[in-house]
Chain A
Amino acid sequence: MRKEVKQAIVGLIMVSPAFLLLLFTVVIPIIQSFVTSLGNGSGGYDLSRYQNLFTDKGLRSNILFTIKVTLLSCVLVLLVSYSLALYMRFSSGKLVELIRKSYMIPLFIPGVIATYGLMNLLGNNGWLARLLLPVGITLPRIIFDEKGIIIANLWFNIPFATMLLSSALASIPASVIESARDIGASKLRIFFRFIFPLSYKTFLVAVTFVFMGVIGSFTAPFLLGANSPQMLGVSMQQVFSVFQEREQAAAMAVFSFLLCSFLGFFYIRSMAKEDQLND
């Protein structure tokens, strides 16, 4: 008994420095944002800032736009990443080896740089437009348009999601798949009966982080997006620094946090089931 108490104290002491930092730089600011968002500007507290989110035409279209871009990006990212991860898991050859070695590089490239590169490559009269000119293809407007934002999201998130998914696929024993093949299961069947269920958890992790990353993104939509509608991150910054409406910006932040918490709930529920934590 006494040993357990001692251990509990040691554990709490070891966790506390990191947790205090989290408390000071994340938890308290979140609570503060929440309190701010309830202010109605004239000293009282109510939900008027949240009402604005749905009644103000500009804000509402920004929110709908953000949700649309986020969902579209998530679907595309996961579709491509899953295919790529499957391809890397079940193919071999020099080409695959090369992809395995290089696909993670974009994860480490500074966001500003990649966005700047995309701007130069895909912009009007950009490099891609020049390269496609002799073939007679004219590009639609990509930069300063939602296409640009989605492309940037793909650029940043596909390597990330692929990294997560391929680590999950790597942990599926080859014997499971081989024995399924031996009894004559089709590829699709193997995928739905074995591969997807065994990697489902990581799939959820990938969805959660891609969703949270895209919905709160700033740099890419700021540099690549149109003036309206805007992504929430950009709109939030504008409401805060141009219109000086702190309460409204805070309400937007809390609202997007609520959207994230919805996914976060499933994420934590699936993670918390892990028995290793219970020992």
Chain B
Amino acid sequence: MGWYFRALSKRRIIEFVLLTVFAVFFAGPLLNLAVLAFSDQWRYPDMLPQHWSLRWWSFVLGQDDIAKSIGLSFLIATIVTALSIVLCIPAAYAFARIRFPLKKVFLFSFLLTHAFPKMGLYVSIAVLFYQVGLMNTLLGVVLIHMINVLMFMTWIPTAAFRNVQAAQEESARDVGASPFRVFRSITLPLAMPGILVASVFTFLNSLDEAQGTFLVGIPDFKTMPIVMYSIISDFPSSAGAVFSIILTAPTLILLLAAQRLVSAEVLSSGFQVK
């Protein structure tokens, strides 16, 4: 073994050590949950569980409110994504293509969703929702989820529309296509990757939202992260680990499916105006 390491340059070794630390740092917590989920008994100080079992899987899957929470979470995430697309895509197109007054003010106002602490925002929203009767309603929860995604759901598609060459649209217009036709068959398909990434991000963000749902949706809207909070406090860590995997699985599946689209370039356009 010794000769092998000596043959490597010092730089390579440092690189390797640093990257290992990195991998352990980021993968460690998730790996730990994966091991925990299949353990039956794991006493200190053993490095691995003494007994493995699927006991906690059948326990978690057998709980009534857990199956319900999964369905509810997906329903909410679907509504949130669809509604955000309907509301934000026209705005994104306008920001990218149309001249109108106060454009910059409108564009940057979306930054407010990230600048005010969420806790403070939710508390005020709860007061407002009480007055208009949105507490403990599906619409109330959906609106709370949309706050988090408004900014990048507008900014990512804005960048995507901007990246469509105006020349391509113009040449379609020149051969007599109507503005709507140009949008449908030139602009929209070319901007689609950006819109899809924003939608995937929105969907996952909604699945993940806990604080706002907790404040506005209690007691009827127990989404997956809400159930997770109570599992953490009420059950042994293996049950929490099992549920963590169930909660993370859709994320990983969606990411894998959208792998080709999700790039640093597209995602980062959701946080800056280029």
Contact = CB atoms under 8 A, between A and B. Distances in A.
Interface of A: 4, 7-12, 14-15, 17-19, 21-22, 24-30, 32-33, 36, 84, 95, 99, 103-114, 116-118, 120-121, 125-131, 133, 154-155, 159, 163-164, 166-168, 170, 201-202, 205, 209, 212-213, 215-216, 218-219, 223, 232-233, 236-237, 240, 246, 249-250, 252-254, 256-257, 260-261, 264, 267-268, 271-272, 274, 276-277, 279
B267 A104 contact: yes
Contact of B32 (A8, A120, A125): A120
A202 B87 CA distance: 28
Given A14-B98, A21-B146, A254-B120, A166 B19 contact: no
Contacts of B232: 112, 116, 223
A111 B208 contact: yes
Interface in B86-122: 86-88, 90-91, 93-95, 98-101, 103-104, 106-121
B193 to A, nearest CB: 15
Nearest to A37: B120
Given A114-B29, A127-B32, A252-B120, A261 B115 contact: yes
B33 A130 contact: no
Contact of B268 (A84, A116, A163, A279): A163
Interface of B: 15, 19, 22, 25-26, 28-30, 32-33, 35-36, 44-47, 86-88, 90-91, 93-95, 98-101, 103-104, 106-121, 123-125, 127-128, 143-144, 146-147, 150, 154, 162, 204, 207-208, 210-211, 225, 228-229, 232, 237, 240-241, 244, 247-248, 251-252, 255, 262-265, 267-268, 271-274
Contacts of B267: 104, 107, 163, 167
Contacts of B268: 163-164, 167-168, 202, 205
